Structure 1
Amino acid sequence: MADTILILGNGFDVAMKRATKYTDFIEFANNLFPVTDNQLEKFLVENNINIEEYKDNYYLRFINENRYTLGENWCNLEIMISQLAEAIDDLKLNADILYREDKNFLRVNHVDLLQGSMVSQENFASKFFVAKIFYELFNILEWNKLERRVAISELNEKFIYHLELLTGLLEIYLSYRDYVDFEVNKIAPVETALNAIDEISESSVISFNYTHTPYEFFKIPIENTHYIHGEIDLNRSKSAVNTMVFGIEDKENNVNSDLIPYQKYYQRVVKETGNLYEKFFISTKLSEWGAAVSKNIIVFGHSVDPLDKEIFEKCFEIAYEKRYNYRFIFTYHTESAKRSIIKNLAIILGKDKLVELTGNKNVVFVKSDDVDGMREVLLD
Structure 2
Amino acid sequence: MNILVIGNGFDIAHGIPSSYKNFLDFVIAYKKVYKYYASLNTIEKNNFSNGITKISSIYKDASFIMNEMTLSNSRASEFGKMINHNCWIEYFFGRTSQLERKHNWVDIEEEISRVIKALTQLHKTNKGIDFSAEEMYKIDCVLDSEVHGRTAGFDRENEVLLTFMNSLMEEQPGHQITNQKRREYWQKFTSILSADFSNLVRSLELYLDYFIDFTKLSKSDIFDGIKFDHLVTFNYTNTYRVLYNSRISGDFIHGRAQAWRDKEESDVVLGIEEFLDEDQKNKNVEFIAYRKYYQRIIKHCDFSYRKVLENSNNAISTWFFGHSLASSDKDILTHLLPSSDLASQFSSPKKSNVKKSYICYYSQHTLEQQVANLVQILGQEALNDLVCGPDPKIKFVFQDNFKKERMISMNEERTYRT
Indicate the TM-score class for this superposition, using the shorter chain for normalisation: 0.7 to 0.9
Q: Which residue of 2 aligns with 1:269?
A: 297
Map Cα deviations across residues 4-58 of structure 1 (whole Å, 9 max, x no partner): 2011100100011111111111111112233453222456659832334220211
Note if contact 2:109-2:271 (Cα within 8 Å) is conserved in structure 1.
yes
Q: Which deviates more from structure 2 when the two are superposed, residues 165-174 or residues 76-85?
A: 76-85
**Normalising by the residue count of structure 2, what TM-score does the alignment of the two structures yield?**
0.70
Equivalence for 1:134:
none
Counterpart in the other structure of 1:157: 191
Cα distance in 2, alignment partners of residues 107 and 20 from structure 1: 34
What CA distance in whole angstroms lies between the structure 2 residues aligned with 1:205 and 1:350? 26
- Deviation, 1:256, is 2.3
CA contact (8 A) 2:109 2:272 kept: yes
Over the aligned positions, Cα root-mean-square deviation in angstroms equals: 3.4
Task: Give the corresponding residue for 2:218.
Answer: 188
After TM superposition, list the pairs within 5 Å mapping 1:348-367 onto structure 2.
348-358=377-387, 359=389, 360-367=391-398
Out of 150, 153, 174, which is 2:208 matched to?
174
- CA separation of 1:76 and 1:53: change in aligned 2, threshold 3 A: same
Change in Cα spacing, 1:351 to 1:145, as seen in structure 2 (3 Å) is closer
- 1:204 partnered with 2:230: yes
- List per-residue Cα deviations over 1:241-283 (Å, max 9, x = no partner): 1100001112354232322111111111111114212123245
In structure 1, how many angstroms separate the alpha carbons of the residues matched to 2:167 and 2:65?
32
Identity %: 22
Given the two structures, how large is their TM-score scaled by the length of structure 1? 0.77
CA pair 357-347 structure 1, distance change in 2 beyond 3 A: same
Give the partner amino acid of 2:274: D
Separation in structure 2 between the aligned mates of residue 304 and residue 265 of structure 1, nearest angstrom:
16
CA separation of 1:70/1:129 partners in 2, compared to 1, >3 Å: closer, same or farther? Answer: farther
Q: Equivalent residue for 2:254? A: 229
1:322–1:270 CA distance, 2 compared to 1 (3 A): closer
Give, in whole Å, the separation in 2 of the partners of 1:56 and 1:217: 37
AA of the residue aligned to 1:189: K
Question: What do the CA deviations read for 1:288-310 (whole angstroms, capped 9, x no partner)?
Answer: xxxx4333210110100001011
CA gap of 1:130–1:18, structure 2 versus 1, over 3 A, is farther
When residues 312 and 79 of structure 1 are mapped into structure 2, their CA distance, relative to the original with a 3 A threshold, is: same
Q: Counterparts in 2 of 1:320-359, with a 5 A limit? A: 321=351, 326-358=355-387, 359=389
Output the CA distance in 1 between the equivalents of 2:72 and 2:183. 44
Equivalence for 1:249: 273
In the alignment, the residues of structure 2 paired with residue 270 and residue 82 of structure 1 have an alpha-carbon distance, to the nearest angstrom, of 20
Higher relative contact order (CA 8 A, sep 6+): 1
Contact 1:230 1:243 (C-alpha < 8 Å) held by counterparts: yes
Whole-Å separation in 2 of the counterparts to 1:25 and 1:153: 30
1:216/1:294 CA distance change after superposition, 3 Å: same
Deviates more, 1:274-283 or 1:348-357: 274-283
User: Shift of residue 232 of structure 1?
Assistant: 1.0
Partner of 2:404: 372
Q: Which runs of 5+ in 2 are unaligned?
A: 35-44, 46-61, 138-161, 170-174, 341-349, 414-418
- Partner Cα separation in structure 2 for residue 250 and residue 369 of structure 1: 35
